[in-house]
Structure 1
Amino acid sequence: MTYELREQYDVVVIGGGAAGLNGALMLGRARRSVAVIDAGEPRNAPAEGVHGLLGREGMPPSELLEIGRGEVRQYGGHVVDGAVTSANPTRDGFAVALADGREVKARKLLVTTGLVDRLPEIPGLAEHWGKDLVHCPYCHGWEVRDQAIGIVATGPMSMHGALLFRQWTADLVLFTNDRLALPPEELEKLKARGTRIVDGPIERIESEDGRIRGVRMANGEFVERTVLATSSRMEARAGFLKDLGLKAVEHSSGAGEHVPADPVGRTEVPGVWVAGNVTDLMAQVGAAAAAGAMAGAQINMELVNEDTAAAVAEYRAG
């Protein structure tokens, strides 16, 4: 079943991942008119399954989203395909413009557009993302356990990754790639646990039959690996918010850019809320969904207060 956008909603949710759908679910159950506008670019699309999510362990991401869409529609919410290009303030809320020329108005906005992963610019690396190039041991560690894993360093946080991935394999190599300087005490930790350190720049990643075969160093050395792990620079999808005066800023961790918000998702722009990876770069699916639910409940309470204030004013006038 498909839905056309109406002209006006209580809430428009921009982004149809776990955070957006769970926020819309809460709002729909609160009898709010809500529309979810989804551009169809989920961050976890390359992954075979969602992991670490109780009750949905191993489910393909697309299947999880389809279930979520059905649940939102069950409570009267609209879920539509479309890319948002801008959002502007109006007298009563916001006007949201889509790339195909449609426009929709809302009293409140919930932004759950997620993020984009910027990978190290190493030839042959990006095409393996989400398959045999992974980033999170809690998301992928079990699936690559006991394999020959290589950590491609991008900065100081890569030491953290090397310590973690050792839990899933004894055959671990850390490629510093001229991005990570290890002090003696950190080197000692790695060597004590049998992790090999390979210094120097990486020239390319070599593959065979679509799978990683190993890492070719700039000095000609070849190191066989079947799985690589690296950290991306994470950048919130938030460019369309610029007309509201809201933009992504550098995260305190140095991991990328996010849209700041308070603990329940309220941004510095009144009426605009965020949830999921657009604000919490490290959130897994369960945490993103929970944040969406919290934001949805908080938005409903704000609308309740506004409706109540309007009713009181009318009551007094009458």
Structure 2
Amino acid sequence: MRECIVVGAGAAGMSAALTLGRARRRTLVIDAGQQSNLAASGIGGLLGHDRRPPAEFYAAGRAELTAYPSVEVHRGVVAHGVQEDDGSFAVTFSDGRRERARSMVLASGMDYRYPRLPGMDERWGNSVFHCPFCHGWEVRDRPMGVLAEGAVGVHGALNLRAWSDRITLLTNGSELTDQHREQLAVGGVGLDERPITGLHGPGAELRAAIFADGGELPIGALLVKTTLYQRSTLARDLGASLTEPDEMLSVEAIKVDAMTRTGVPGLYAAGDAATSVPPSMAAAMASGYLAGAAAAVQLAAGY
């Protein structure tokens, strides 16, 4: 039996594994290869790795883990998980392989769900994005749109003014209140409530939003309201509690305490999967370290 299974090999999962490896704990890291930011051209805002291609970052992380003989990285997808009567955890892979461990860290990231408009997928993570702190610098000073409704759209548009003075809120057919209209006017933000049919531009570049009436709005970047959901039922299967997405945060996160404990003995969660605030690589790495340290302490205490 392993001492810890880490589900996920993104920034949080590898950070947890590195901490466990340095504590000489027998650890299995399960990498499904589904890191959410692989589509991005670079990592934004991670000290020491700013603008580094995500794939390069993950390759370097996996290489660092090889220095610790107690850590093994396995490529695969977890299909099912259960807590045994003795308190240990068992996971079954999609290929039928089964592994057990005394503790587990859930760090499988999130499923990012955004409006599936024509032209959006090929621009996602670059000129179309959900986090201005991760991508705003790269598209600074371009005319930008914000695709969202209600208060969250107004908030996002006003915040985006730090990167450009040409911002337009696109509500895609949804109407705003008079109060929201006034906020936008005072902030110098444009408003277009027409339904959108797609995005246009050469290759992966964004040049314009296309409306149902045939009109276009010239923009070079688009901030999109995105809801984050758990990629699998693993957290629920193991008895962890989840938050409910709300209008502003829109995150279905695993509930954890300050030390990433889920409330299920021996079960920890880190990274995007357990964040109730906008996700980031920096926050994921920090929470992964905490999860690894907390699991190592639990294992040392023998419970």
Alignment partner of 1:303 is 2:296:
no
Which residue of 2 is the match for residue 70 of structure 1?
63
Shift of 1:227: 1.3
Q: Deviations over 1:22-70 (max 9, x none)?
A: 1111111111111110100100011111111111111111111111112
Which residue of 2 is the match for residue 18 of structure 1? 11
1:1-318 equivalences under 5 Å are 8-76=1-69, 77-90=71-84, 91=86, 93-179=88-174, 181-184=176-179, 186-246=180-240, 248-251=242-245, 253-281=248-276, 282-306=278-302
Structure-1 separation of matches of 2:205 and 2:279: 28
Contact 1:276 1:287 in 2 (8 A): yes
Q: Cα deviation per residue 1:152-193 (whole Å; 9 max; x = unaligned)?
A: 114421212101111111121111223462433x43332234
Looking at structure 1, the residues matched to 104 and 115 of structure 2 have their Cα atoms a distance apart, in angstroms, of 34
Aligned residue identity for 1:263: A
CA contact (8 A) 1:236 1:277 kept: no
Contact 2:12 2:289 in 1 (8 A): yes
What is the one-letter code of the residue matched to 2:46?
L
Whether the 8 Å CA contact 2:241–2:262 is kept in 1: the answer is no
* 1:301 CA drift (Å): 1.1
Deviation at 1:254, TM superposition (A): 4.7
| Aligned partner letter, 1:63 | E
Normalising by structure 2, what TM-score?
A: 0.92
Deviation, structure 1 residue 206 = 2.6
Query: Residue type matched to 2:226 in 1?
Result: S
In the alignment of these two chains, the number of paired residues is: 299
SS in 2 for 1:74: coil
Q: CA deviation at 1:200?
A: 2.6
Q: What CA distance in whole angstroms lies between the structure 2 residues aligned with 1:245 and 1:278?
A: 15
Question: What are the superposed Cα offsets for residues 10-30 of structure 1, whole Å, 9 maximum, x if unpaired?
Answer: 001000001111111111111
Over aligned residue pairs, what C-alpha RMSD do you find?
Answer: 1.8
Q: Secondary structure at the match of 2:14?
A: helix
Secondary structure of the structure 2 residue equivalent to 1:211: coil
SS in 2 for 1:302: helix
Give the partner amino acid of 1:293. Y
Question: How far did residue 238 of structure 1 move?
Answer: 3.5
Checking the alignment, whether the CA contact within 8 Å between 2:81 and 2:91 is kept in structure 1 is yes
> Quick check: 1:238–1:278 contact (8 Å CA) kept in 2?
no
- Which structure 2 segments of 5+ residues have no match? none
Is this contact kept in 1: 2:90–2:98, CA < 8 A?
yes
Q: Distance in 2 between matches of 1:78 and 1:60?
A: 24
1:166 counterpart SS class: helix
Equivalent residues of 1:238, 1:259 under 8 A apart: no
Bigger Rg over Cα: 1
The 8 Å contact of residues 53 and 286 in structure 1, kept in 2 or not, is answered as yes
TM-score (norm 1): 0.88
Alpha carbons of structure 1 residues 267 and 218: separation in structure 2 relative to 1, 3 Å: same
Question: Which stretch shows the higher mean deviation, 139-148 or 277-286?
Answer: 277-286
Q: Distance in 2 between matches of 1:158 and 1:279?
A: 24
Per-residue deviation, 1:72? 2.0
Cα distance between partner residues in 2 of 1:169 and 1:14: 39
Counterparts of 2:262 and 2:281, CA distance in 1: 21
